[in-house]
């Protein structure tokens, strides 16, 4: 690319008119087309209007003028001490190259590529003929073409070898649960075009790449001007996960898992009622060559397993998926309720009424280990109805020996005019083999 300072916005900390700062970037080498200042230190700033990667600068001093009538073509009309600086905010400046004791008519120097928006010449010692005066015929900047990355980051695994801009090939290994990886390339040149697996991305931004099991090739293509470079990462995803898992009763009823199954989540819980003594599993591996075991027994991928016994209480069941010599374990913890757990009530609502009072209700939330409760209804109440709700809707419920459905409401029960009134609720298993008795003592008072 040509001179990127040419005709760009240019300012100086001091100017002797009509020798404006803009004349130092207009491409004209006639004696009148120069910048002139009699204030040292002096600065000449060019705004390239975007970050540009630069590695060459040129300063043409008045001594370049060869007209026999001006007498400038000697070292007296060259600036002595000056430097090139760069900035992205036009406030904080970094030194890029320093020239001292110059006597040449043209400064043409290169340096390691840097990217800035603003570039300036900082003159600390001006023309030899008068060091407190400076003048520049032309200030030029040249863009460096560079297709290097300054950084390359992956979200899982470790690059081998450690990233180096000059190293183009890398490898990494990830676990079976890593189904995708984020790749974040950062280019040296702000103008560089980056593509990851042919998808264009912004420098410094992450792009997700899906990973199959086995070897995955990720190519980061960097192009700046006419220069192109390819960085290649070979990511190996080892082992295998499950793509799906279904847990069911022997009757084929699904048992919900918490959380909902996801390939990369390894631990789950589930609960079953006491009458469920066996469960089956249907695990499907993501990799066809993977082997699956449940409690140490081999199970075919995608096929319903045998029925495994579930004891009362907590049952931790390991499902191990093995491929490429790597095992990935899921743990399904199933809690089977005790025999009387199916008989538990969740809550009971007492609706009270009476002459001269506003009807109301009292809700009792049940405690699993408690069967006796005290309930207070409003003074003046003469009767209550009872609405019990069971944990298991299949249980039989009787209120004072009268059967009602779970969530249903009993008939009106009169309250003793003085003292307390007892209400008994009995829950029974569908076959009547087990039962549980709750006693509620109702008193009157302020609520």
Is residue 63 included in any domain, yes or no?
A: yes
Is residue 4 included in any domain, yes or no?
A: no
- Kind of pairing between the strands at 372-378 and 435-445: parallel
0.85 exceeded by the pTM? no
Helix (H, G, I), strand (E, B) or coil at 352: strand
What is the per-residue DSSP string for 178-213?
--EEEEEEEESSTT-EEEETTEEE-TT--EEEE--S
Q: What tens digit of pLDDT does each residue of 56-73 get?
A: 999 999 998 865 556 677
CB 276 within 8 A of CB 310: yes
Is residue 80 included in any domain, yes or no?
A: yes
pLDDT at site 70: 62
Does residue 323 sit in the same domain as residue 392? no
Does residue 231 sit in the same domain as residue 163? yes
CB 344 within 8 A of CB 370: no
* Tokens linked to 285: 């591996």
pLDDT at site 66: 65
pLDDT at site 87: 97
Angle at 438 between CA 437 and CA 440, to 5 degrees: 150
Does residue 161 sit in the same domain as residue 131? no
Q: Which of 336, 351, 385 is the last residue of a domain?
A: 336
Is residue 3 included in any domain, yes or no?
A: no
Alpha carbon 118 to its chain centroid, in Å, reads: 34
Cβ atoms within 10 Å of 292's Cβ, excluding its own? 25
pLDDT at site 341: 76
Cβ atoms within 10 Å of 104's Cβ, excluding its own? 14
CATH code at position 14: 2.60.120.260
How many domains is the chain partitioned into structurally? Answer: 4
Is residue 372 included in any domain, yes or no?
A: yes
- Kind of pairing between the strands at 79-87 and 94-99: antiparallel
pLDDT at site 392: 85
Does residue 90 sit in the same domain as residue 14? yes
pLDDT at site 71: 65
Parts of the chain with a pLDDT under 70 = 1, 66-71
Domain extent, residue 291, equals 242-336
How many Å apart are CA 372 and CA 439, to the nearest integer? Answer: 5
């Amino acid at each position: 690319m040509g001179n990127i300072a040419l005709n760009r916005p240019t300012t100086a900390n001091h100017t002797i008119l009509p020798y404006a700062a803009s004349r130092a970037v207009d491409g004209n080498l006639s004696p009148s087309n120069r910048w002139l200042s009699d204030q040292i230190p002096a600065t000449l700033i060019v705004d390239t209007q975007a970050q540009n990667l630069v590695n060459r600068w040129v300063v043409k001093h008045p001594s370049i003028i060869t007209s026999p009538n001006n007498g400038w073509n000697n070292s007296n009309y060259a600036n002595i001490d000056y430097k090139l600086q760069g900035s992205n905010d036009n406030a904080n400046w970094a030194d890029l190259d320093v020239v001292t004791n110059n006597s040449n008519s043209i400064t043409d120097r290169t340096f390691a590529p840097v990217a800035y928006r603003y570039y300036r010449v900082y003159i600390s010692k001006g023309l030899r003929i008068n060091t407190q005066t400076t003048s520049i015929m032309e200030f030029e900047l040249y863009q460096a073409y560079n297709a290097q990355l300054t950084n390359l980051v992956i979200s899982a695994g470790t690059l081998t070898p450690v990233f180096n801009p000059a190293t183009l090939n890398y490898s990494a290994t990830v676990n079976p649960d890593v189904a995708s990886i984020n790749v974040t390339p950062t280019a040296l040149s702000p103008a560089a075009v980056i593509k990851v697996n042919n998808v264009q991305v912004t420098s410094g931004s992450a792009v997700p790449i899906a990973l199959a099991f086995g070897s995955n090739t990720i190519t980061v293509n960097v192009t700046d001007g006419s220069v192109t470079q390819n960085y290649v990462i070979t990511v190996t995803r080892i082992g295998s996960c499950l793509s799906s898992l279904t847990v069911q009763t022997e009757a084929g009823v699904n048992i919900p898992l918490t959380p909902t199954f996801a390939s990369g989540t390894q631990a789950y819980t589930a609960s079953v009622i006491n009458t469920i003594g066996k469960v089956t599993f249907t695990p499907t591996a993501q990799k066809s060559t993977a082997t699956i075991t449940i409690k140490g027994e081999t199970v075919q991928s995608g096929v319903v397993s045998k029925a495994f016994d579930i004891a009362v209480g907590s049952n931790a069941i390991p499902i191990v998926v093995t491929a490429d010599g790597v095992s990935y374990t899921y743990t399904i913890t199933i809690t089977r309720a005790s025999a009387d757990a199916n008989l538990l009530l969740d809550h009971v609502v007492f609706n009270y009424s009476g002459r001269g009072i506003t009807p109301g209700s009292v809700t009792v939330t049940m405690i699993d280990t408690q069967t006796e409760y005290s309930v207070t209804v409003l003074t003046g109440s003469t009767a209550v109805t009872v609405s019990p709700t069971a944990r298991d809707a299949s249980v039989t419920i009787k209120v004072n020996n009268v059967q009602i459905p779970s969530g249903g409401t009993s008939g009106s029960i009169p309250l003793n005019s003085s003292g307390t009134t007892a209400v008994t609720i009995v829950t029974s298993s569908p076959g009547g083999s087990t039962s549980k008795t709750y006693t509620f003592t109702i008193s009157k008072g302020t609520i």
